[in-house]
Amino acid sequence: MAYKLIMTWDILPEREQEYFEFVVREFIPGVQRLGLELTDAWATIYGTRPQIMVGATLPSMPRVQRVLQSDDWKTLYDQLQDYVHNYSQKVVESQGGFQF
C-alpha cells in the first residue's frame, strides 16, 4: 500500500520571489532526494483554501516515517518555513489522483 504526504501552505506575501526560487532550486530536488515521488501541485486562485497544496508518495508507512524523522527533511521543512505560513501536513493511503 502506497502512502501520500499531503502538504498545504500559504506563501508569505513579501517573500514570493524568494519562495519560488527556493522551491525550484532546493525544495523539489531535496524532496526527490529523500525518495518522495511528487504527484500533485495545486494553487488556489480563489477561495479560502490554502494557497498551495503538494502531494508526494512513498511505497510504505515505515518509509514515510523514516523520511519525516530524518535530519534532511527537518532541514527542508525549516527552510520552507522562512517563506510560508499556515503549513499543514498529513499522511493518507494513496488513492491515486487528487486527494485533500
* pTM (2 d.p.): 0.90
Residue 63 has pLDDT above 60, yes or no: yes
Strands (E), the chain: 3-11, 37-43, 52-58, 84-93
Phi-psi region of 33 (alpha: psi -120 to 50; beta: other; left: phi over 0): alpha
Domains of the chain, residue spans: 3-93
pLDDT of the residue at 67: 98
pLDDT of the residue at 100: 56
Q: 3-93 maps to which CATH number?
A: 3.30.70.100
Taking only the tens place, the pLDDT of each residue in 33-59 is 999 999 999 999 888 899 999 999 999
Percent of the chain with pLDDT over 70: 95
Question: Which residues, in sequence order, are CB contacts of 54 under 8 Å at separation 6+?
Answer: 6, 7, 8, 38, 40, 41, 42
pLDDT of the residue at 1: 87
Q: How confident is the model at residue 97 (pLDDT cuts 50, 70, 90)?
A: low
